A and B are shown apart, each in its own frame.
Chain A
Amino acid sequence: MSMYVRVKRQKQIFFLHVEPSETVLEIKQKVQALTEKPADDQRLFLDGLNLDDAKTLAEVKVENDAVLALAYKIDEEAGTWEEIDIHTIDTVDEAKA
């Protein structure tokens, strides 16, 4: 059954068709196809939890319509990463739901 996830970073939201059997790495590759940011320089979070590349979406319990936060690597040598930065309106919506 096909589903989709919403990958958010700053002012961008990507709607991606995914399968529960796909791995987190495959999602990053889909993001790479759209942003040209290498999968290695991406991190995906579900509810603040950093997702493991090798796991499938079913294993990390990513469901249809889930919101994943995307963060990029800032500096290769220092190994620093961006903070999660997704728009707050959605947080408001979730609080109401």
Chain B
Amino acid sequence: MGKPETVRLVSKEGFEFVIDYKAACVSNTIKNMLSSQGNFTETELGEIKFPEISTPILEKVCQYFYYKLRYTHCPDVIPEFKIEPDIALQLLMASNFLDT
């Protein structure tokens, strides 16, 4: 079912986030996973499991991918990317892992 132009990211609770390949490549870790040589299941199915990232964190990460894509090279005023304080630490750990 995986279309080449999209990537599925699966959270700890099994939620699937279907995002554009281009958006996923905001994360260097994901980009490397998807473009690495060899027959990894990740590369073939376009599905990556993150058993350590919970659903709200992964959703925030995906929102950030799109935010980043939209406002990179954007001449307009860039709005703030809102992060709720209670998820900040987990989000920091996820973004560190994803190299984002």
Q: Is A93 an interface position by the 8 A CB rule?
A: yes
Q: Which of B33-41, B54-62, B88-96 contacts A (4 or more CB under 8 A)?
A: B54-62
Main secondary structure, interface of B, reads: mixed
The CA-CA distance from A93 to B63 in the complex, in Å, is 14
Task: Identify which of B3, B13, B15 gathers the most chain A CB atoms within 10 Å of its CB.
Answer: B15
Chain B residues in 8 Å Cβ range of A89: 55-56, 59
Mark each residue of chain A from 5 to 19: 1 if its CB lies under 8 Å from any CB of chain B, else 0.
Answer: 010000111110100
Q: Is B80 an interface position by the 8 A CB rule?
A: no
Q: Establish whether residues B70 and A3, one from each chain, have CB atoms under 8 Å apart when the complex forms.
A: yes
- Residue of A with least CB distance to B2: A34
**B interface residues, how many (CB within 8 angstroms):** 23
Q: Is A61 an interface position by the 8 A CB rule?
A: no
Mark each residue of chain B from 1 to 20: 1 if its CB lies under 8 Å from any CB of chain A, else 0.
Answer: 10100100000011111111
**A interface residues, how many (CB within 8 angstroms):** 21
Q: Is A80 an interface position by the 8 A CB rule?
A: no
Give chain B nearest CB distance to A52 CB in angstroms: 25
Give chain B nearest CB distance to A82 CB in angstroms: 17
Chain A residues in 8 Å Cβ range of B55: 87, 89
Q: Establish whether residues A4 and B6, one from each chain, have CB atoms under 8 Å apart when the complex forms.
A: no
B interface, CB within 8 angstroms of A: 1, 3, 6, 13-20, 23, 55-56, 59, 62-63, 65-66, 70, 82, 84, 86
Q: Can you list 14 pairs linking A and B with CB atoms under 8 Å apart?
A: A4-B70, A12-B15, A13-B15, A13-B16, A13-B18, A13-B59, A14-B18, A15-B18, A15-B23, A17-B20, A34-B18, A65-B66, A89-B59, A93-B56
